């Protein structure tokens, strides 16, 4: 059992991972400024954690760029913080072209602030949310960790920069235990439908958009191009259930805490790719709802294929995905039906 700081703990992946870590018996401090989330997600995590878990999570409102807040968390406990699971960050590829300063400030400067305070308090264990987007247009499909890191958007550049910073830190002094987890496409929700992905405004990502079409909030899906060099002309992605992803964090943390100090960089994906049209069909099968769509031009910055080679994660962490595409569609749908407007305190701006 460890004492953990979870930055961005109220977000989509953070909330599911908090629950998985509570189930493993850890004590958590979840820090979030709620710029892209709701405090209600963590209230629901406490409920899901049950009588054994709900008292082991403390929620702190704050920004990772505010070192005073961080110092209070690290310095204010009877027991030291053993490790950090670092989710806090901005994550929309399109937005990162418009606001590169914000992306570098939150994702890179925010991580710097966190690492400086960690170092001051002697905490040298961190699990970092990286992304498959660091591969840019991958040279090889499926893509292994040895592939070139060549981001093609500002968001990806910030993730690659933090990976590099963490590598320099690991080289600079002994004792750092670091895991960079390159997620492929996280989707789905906790099977209870209590916590899930609650995008603010019009969803950028395929799964929340399709869910909102199915529930009637949006009229139709726009499929960004059907002329890609893929079997049915629509892009292929490696979708990973968020509960599998949460368990991947538990596995990475266990490895860091149990083994000698080291830097682990690994993909977290299934190794299985599905096209946009296959997702639409599976969602229709899982929900019994028709998903109207139209084909529109390609979206800037998309790639035809993104599929993980999951071999390293399996060998190194003993972790592999367990949930199927049907699970992902069904759980997204349960969450969407029970929470058509997310956590209910986020403003929706428009419908298409």
The residue assigned the tokens 């890609």 is: 228
Q: Which of 29, 87, 103, 209 binds ligand UFG (CB under 6 A)?
A: 209
In the annotation, is 239 catalytic? no
Residue 276 in contact with ligand UFG, rule: CB under 6 A: yes
How far apart are alpha carbons 218 and 212 in whole angstroms?
Answer: 6
Task: Print the binding letters for residues 52-71 with ligand NAD: x by CB under 6 A, - otherwise.
Answer: -----------xxx------
Task: Give the Cα separation of 127 and 162 in Å (integer).
Answer: 12
Identify what 246 binds: ligand UFG, ligand NAD, none; CB under 5 to 8 Å per kind: none
What is the Cα–Cα distance from 225 to 216, expressed in whole angstroms? Answer: 23
Single residue of 20, 30, 33, 134 touching ligand NAD by CB under 6 A: 33
Shortest distance in whole angstroms from residue 189 CB to ligand NAD = 12
265 binds ligand NAD (CB under 6 A): no
| Bridge partners, 3 (sequence order) | 27
Shortest CB 268 distance to ligand UFG, Å: 9
Q: Pick the stretch among 43-51, 115-123, 182-190, 252-260 that binds ligand UFG (CB under 6 A).
A: 182-190
Q: Are 310 and 270 in contact, with CB atoms under 8 Å apart? A: yes
Q: How far apart are CA 212 and CA 202, in angstroms?
A: 9
In sign, the C-alpha dihedral spanning 88, 111, 261, 129 is positive
**How far is 243 from 186, CA to CA, in rounded Å?**
9
Determine, following the binding rule CB under 6 A, whether residue 32 of this chain makes contact with ligand NAD. yes
User: CA 151, CA 270: separation in Å to the nearest integer?
Assistant: 21
- Which residues lie closer than 8 Å to 299 by C-beta, 6 or more apart? 224, 225
Catalytic residues: 155
Q: Which residues bind ligand NAD (CB under 6 A)?
A: 7-8, 10-14, 32-37, 63-65, 87-89, 91, 106, 110, 129, 131, 183, 186
Q: Which residues bind ligand UFG (CB under 6 A)?
A: 91, 93, 131-133, 183-185, 204-206, 209, 221-224, 235, 237, 276, 299, 302, 306
């Amino acid at each position: 059992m460890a004492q953990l700081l979870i930055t961005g703990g109220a977000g989509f992946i953070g909330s599911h991972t908090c629950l998985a870590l509570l189930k493993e018996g850890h004590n958590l401090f979840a820090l979030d400024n709620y710029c892209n989330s709701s405090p209600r997600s963590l209230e629901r995590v406490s409920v899901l954690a049950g009588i054994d878990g709900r008292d082991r999570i403390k929620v702190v409102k704050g920004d990772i760029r505010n070192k005073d807040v961080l110092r209070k968390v690290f310095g204010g406990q009877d027991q030291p913080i053993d490790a950090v699971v670092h989710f806090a960050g901005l994550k929309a590829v399109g937005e990162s072209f418009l606001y590169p300063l914000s992306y570098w400030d939150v994702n890179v400067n925010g991580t710097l602030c966190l690492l400086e305070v960690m170092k001051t308090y002697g905490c040298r264990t961190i699990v970092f949310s990286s992304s498959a987007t660091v591969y840019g247009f991958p040279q090889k499909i499926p893509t292994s960790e040895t592939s070139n890191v060549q981001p093609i958007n500002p968001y990806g550049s910030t993730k690659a920069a933090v990976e590099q910073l963490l590598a320099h830190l690991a080289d600079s002094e002994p004792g750092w235990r670091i895991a960079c987890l390159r997620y492929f496409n996280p989707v789905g929700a906790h099977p209870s439908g209590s916590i899930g992905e609650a995008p603010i405004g019009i969803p950028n990502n395929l799964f929340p958009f399709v869910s909102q079409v199915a529930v009637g909030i949006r009229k139709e899906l726009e499929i960004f191009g059907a002329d890609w060099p893929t079997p049915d002309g629509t892009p292929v992605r490696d979708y990973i259930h968020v509960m599998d992803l949460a368990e991947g964090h538990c596995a990475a943390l266990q490895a860091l805490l149990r083994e000698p100090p080291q830097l682990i960089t690994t993909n977290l994906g299934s190794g299985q790719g599905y096209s946009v049209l296959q997702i639409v069909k599976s969602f229709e099968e899982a929900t019994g709802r028709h998903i109207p769509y139209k084909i529109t031009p390609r979206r800037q910055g998309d790639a035809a294929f993104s599929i993980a080679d999951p071999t390293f994660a399996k060998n190194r962490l003993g972790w592999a995905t367990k949930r199927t595409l049907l699970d992902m569609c069904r759980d997204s749908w349960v969450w969407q039906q029970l929470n058509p407007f997310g956590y209910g305190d986020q403003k929706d701006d428009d419908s298409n």
